Amino acid sequence: MNDLAPDAATPRSPGGAGLGIAVGLIMSLVLSAALVYSAAKAGIAPGVSPLVVLFGWVAFGSLLGPKLKRFLAIGQVTGSAGAAVTAGVVFTAPILQIVSREQGLDVPPVDVPLLILASIAGSLMGFGFVGLATKRFLSDPRLPAPEAVAADRLIQTAVSRPDERPRVSTSLIPGLLVGVFVNLGEQLRWLRHDVETLSLPMFGGAERAEGGAVGDVDLPVPLSPLYIGIGALLTLPTALLIFGGGLVNAITKGYARAENMPDTTFRWVGGAAMTVAVVYSLVSYVLEGRKSASKNADATNTELDESLLEQTRGTQRMLFLSIGLGMALLVLMMLQVGAPPMAMIVLGVVTLVLVSLLSGLGGLLSLQVGSSASPVSGTVFMGMLVLSLTALQLSMSGMSGIVFLVPLVVAACVAICAANDSSQDYKTLQLNGYRVSDGFKGQIVGLLGGSIVVPLTLWLAHESNLSAGGIGLGDAALPAPQASFFGTVLQTLFLEAELPWGPVLAGVALGVVAVAIEAWGKRRGMILSSLAFAVGIYLSPEMGIGMGMGAFARFAATRSLGKTTHAGILVAAGLITGYALLDLLYGVVLVMQTPGEVGLTEQLSVGSADAFSWVPAGSASTGIAATILIATLTFIFFNYRTRSR
């Protein structure tokens, strides 16, 4: 236990807990809404617990005195919970819109009440199962728990060295302003989204189309504070692996164009690689768990106070009640989509078993590699396959089978993501000497708040994209990479499409290579997630390039593969939040706009308003502006080393 742990009476003291839940709930609502856009665009929802702690320290560090530590410890549990719901919903819910469009059917709107029901059901089940399993996975001192350790160090610094609070005027505020103004420039068409696209001629002399060779490999260099900010919150090895997957994506697309293969080819390559990586993670965890149990069977753990993991019978009853209530909502949800009785019973039981297994696994893997690098997509993919095969055995097929299955997948994914987040948060409580059960109230409050806000924001994102002339979820502006891949798989299973064995086998081979690299890194004490590489394959190349730029900027400042400094977290969070919040505001304006009315963008964009006719659009100056922006961000990151220690 760390040297700042309170005495035996402190964990029972209520000081700071109520305020921590209240402030955490506000942060949970704001972050979960903002991250809907970033998750739909970038396909990654980074862990935000250290950000919540840092914001609480900056905002309340000089006011709370001795209550600060408990306030921060409880606040980070509540404040990060909504972001878990964001990942669970955005990774799965757009499946229905994407599949309907690709099948040439009418695209349904986002069903907000059904998604709220699925999110609450998943939150309650994930909360209950992980709460019951805390003693199992928090009593192992070998698990590094990177986000928990980062949050713990922030809390220790806040309590012992309060004067080291980073200044928001040189970190969060500049990041917010850059995020807002770059997004504004893109919306008003004063800036292009891409700085430049590098085309590498490959695959032989294919005929030209639209100015470029059909078989060329295109590498777009993005002007995106969103991607740079997410990359700055990832470790450099994780960002490099995602970047490597993006290169495979670009090569696969170029090859597919040259060979007249479907546009979805890269999804199969990435999905097959992800399956190999998930199977490796499962087998590796089981084998390492047995070795650990054998090695520590007669040993006494003196590093951690396991009494902090104890639960009263009343607490355990509450957790079982949460699981039961979640199942009841799951049944209500299946009734709402018109499921036959036998399907309700069988799939309800299968979902319960899957959530119990995969939520525990998600929590454990998160403690191994961190919530940002944890294989949520892969774990959900395995669960979706089991549910799909079960549904097919019940003679459920076609679009009706997909319509029925998607809410179940959403609920399961929310449960897994809740476990992914809460395991880190509970570990932070333990490291600070507080009972883990002290965080249960904040966790469920944050999850329920996110379960309401996230479906509403996803509806807004879909509708505002339609209002702007896009195609909704699955559009280039909102690609929802995980949902796009899952939708491709479901179409193959339920609509009798042919499985493309060539890309699948290529993905399996790449997955084996990625696993070999992860095993090599593990022997040398490095985390080289094979899942990060697989995820990078079905993210677009520009995302991988942008995240790599952000991670390199952070590395240049800290000279450390994994270190993220206090000011660095705030700058990165500002870039992400500023960019995403303007998307949110712009979406509200578009949805409230009268049909047929000339929109704000059209009024202010170049060529529509003489007052702005001096602003260059789509010219070489865009590249110059982007270069200046990236250089400035790199300079800011360099100064983290001297401004915060």
Model confidence pLDDT, tens digit, residues 544-561: 888 888 888 777 777 665
- The answer as to whether 306 is a domain residue is no
Lowest mean pLDDT among 135-139, 141-145, 232-236, 601-605: 601-605
Examine the pLDDT at 539 and tell me if it is beyond 80. no
DSSP state of 306: G
What per-residue confidence (pLDDT) applies to 165?
75
Chain position carrying tokens 């220690």: 645
What per-residue confidence (pLDDT) applies to 563?
59
Report the amino acid identity of residue 78: T
pLDDT band at 53 (very low <50, low <70, confident <90, very high): confident
Phi-psi region of 13 (alpha: psi -120 to 50; beta: other; left: phi over 0): beta
- The answer as to whether 302 is a domain residue is no
pLDDT band at 448 (very low <50, low <70, confident <90, very high): very high
What per-residue confidence (pLDDT) applies to 212?
45
CB 411 within 8 A of CB 89: no
What per-residue confidence (pLDDT) applies to 397?
82
Residue 447 to residue 134: CA distance in whole angstroms: 18
pLDDT band at 508 (very low <50, low <70, confident <90, very high): very high
pLDDT band at 193 (very low <50, low <70, confident <90, very high): low
Q: What are the φ and ψ backbone dihedral angles of 198, each rounded to 5 degrees?
A: -90, 125
- The answer as to whether 612 is a domain residue is yes
What per-residue confidence (pLDDT) applies to 4?
40
Examine the pLDDT at 16 and tell me if it is beyond 90. no
Region 305-322: what's the mean pLDDT? Answer: 85
Lowest mean pLDDT among 121-135, 257-271, 609-623: 609-623
Whether this prediction's pTM lies above 0.85 is answered by no
pLDDT band at 594 (very low <50, low <70, confident <90, very high): low
Chain position carrying tokens 């479901």: 490
Residue 610 to residue 7: CA distance in whole angstroms: 68
> Which residues span the domain enclosing 110?
15-292+314-643
Range with top average pLDDT, 266-280, 416-430, 447-461: 447-461
Examine the pLDDT at 470 and tell me if it is beyond 50. yes
Residue among 464, 483, 493 nearest 115 (CA)? 483
Q: Identify which has the larger pLDDT, 168 or 200.
A: 168
Examine the pLDDT at 264 and tell me if it is beyond 90. no
What per-residue confidence (pLDDT) applies to 98?
92
Report the amino acid identity of residue 133: A
Q: Identify which has the larger pLDDT, 306 or 540.
A: 540
pLDDT band at 509 (very low <50, low <70, confident <90, very high): very high
pLDDT band at 182 (very low <50, low <70, confident <90, very high): confident
pLDDT band at 624 (very low <50, low <70, confident <90, very high): low
DSSP state of 392: H
Lowest mean pLDDT among 81-85, 232-236, 540-544, 602-606: 602-606
- The answer as to whether 6 is a domain residue is no
Region 31-53: what's the mean pLDDT? Answer: 82
pLDDT band at 15 (very low <50, low <70, confident <90, very high): low
- The answer as to whether 601 is a domain residue is yes
What per-residue confidence (pLDDT) applies to 294?
46
Region 114-131: what's the mean pLDDT? Answer: 93
Examine the pLDDT at 63 and tell me if it is beyond 90. no
Region 338-347: what's the mean pLDDT? Answer: 84
DSSP state of 197: E
What per-residue confidence (pLDDT) applies to 300?
38
Q: Identify which has the larger pLDDT, 593 or 345.
A: 345
Examine the pLDDT at 405 and tell me if it is beyond 70. yes
- The answer as to whether 301 is a domain residue is no
- The answer as to whether 303 is a domain residue is no
Examine the pLDDT at 95 and tell me if it is beyond 60. yes
Residue 270 to residue 265: CA distance in whole angstroms: 9
Examine the pLDDT at 503 and tell me if it is beyond 80. yes
What per-residue confidence (pLDDT) applies to 126?
92
What per-residue confidence (pLDDT) applies to 209?
44
Residue among 481, 504, 475, 493 nearest 384 (CA)? 493
pLDDT band at 602 (very low <50, low <70, confident <90, very high): low
pLDDT band at 258 (very low <50, low <70, confident <90, very high): confident
- The answer as to whether 2 is a domain residue is no
pLDDT band at 252 (very low <50, low <70, confident <90, very high): confident
Lowest mean pLDDT among 73-82, 211-220, 293-302, 471-480: 293-302
pLDDT band at 304 (very low <50, low <70, confident <90, very high): low
Region 298-309: what's the mean pLDDT? Answer: 56
Phi-psi region of 632 (alpha: psi -120 to 50; beta: other; left: phi over 0): alpha
Task: Give the CB-side neighbour count of residue 254, counting CA atoms within 13 A.
Answer: 23
Examine the pLDDT at 628 and tell me if it is beyond 80. no
What per-residue confidence (pLDDT) applies to 143?
67
Residue among 638, 22, 118 nearest 336 (CA)? 118
Domain count, the chain: 1
Burial of 15 (0-12, 13-18, 19+ CB in 10 A): middle
What per-residue confidence (pLDDT) applies to 620?
42
Residue 510 to residue 277: CA distance in whole angstroms: 10
Region 164-172: what's the mean pLDDT? Answer: 74
What per-residue confidence (pLDDT) applies to 45?
74
* Angle of the 112-138 helix axis to the 341-369 helix axis, nearest 10: 50
What per-residue confidence (pLDDT) applies to 305?
62
| The token pair that represents 155 in the structure block | 């809390």
What per-residue confidence (pLDDT) applies to 411?
93
| Chain-centroid distance, C-alpha 252 | 24
Mean pLDDT score of the chain: 78
Neighbours of 639 (CB within 10 A): 17
Q: Identify which has the larger pLDDT, 392 or 569.
A: 392
CB 414 within 8 A of CB 65: no
